Amino acid sequence: MNYFLALLLVGSASVFTACAQKKQKEETTRKETNKMGWNELSPEEARVIVNKGTEYPGTGTLLNNKEKGTYTCKRCNAALYRSESKFDSHCGWPSFDDEIKGAVKRLPDPDGSRTEIVCANCGGHLGHVFLGEGFTSKDTRHCVNSISMNFVPDKKQQ
């Protein structure tokens, strides 16, 4: 009987030790991500920004924003777009005809049908860019997920 009790205690100890090691490993991974200096993302933000998803058209909080200011990357706070380049394309997502110089990187989609746009600083997925549609004189439309950005209003002059 004592033999079985000893086996049970040893077996239980190894299970608890394995769980503790797994938890410690997860915490280390989480800390490494934070070392990048990036903002914590909600599961929905991560689905779009990290896993290259998209938000439903017409649902983004920044779609109808008309304030003057700067649109920044939700993941790393890098400035991406100025409000002066935003226009209403009626596509369901915020649209811009120009980015802040060097802020956005263009990458061909694997199937070659579209061009993805990502934050040049952290690589976070923003959306896609389309050329030749004639919406503006620049003939460019950056179709950006609201969830990929924050908005920083310009300071009002007193």
DSSP string, 14-82: HHHHHHHHHHHHHHHHHHHHHTTTPPP--HHHHHHHTT---PPTT--TTTT---SEEEEETTT--EEEE
Cα distance between the two ends of the chain: 84
Closest residue by Cα to residue 58 from 93, 12, 110: 93
Cβ 65 vs Cβ 150: under 8 Å? no
Q: Which of 73, 119, 122, 143 is catalytic?
A: 143
Place of tokens 């410690």: 24
Our answer to whether residue 143 is catalytic in this structure is: yes
**For the chain, how many residues are written?**
158
Closest residue by Cα to residue 82 from 94, 73, 74, 71: 71
Q: How far apart are CA 105 and CA 119, in angstroms?
A: 6
Q: Which residues are catalytic?
A: 143
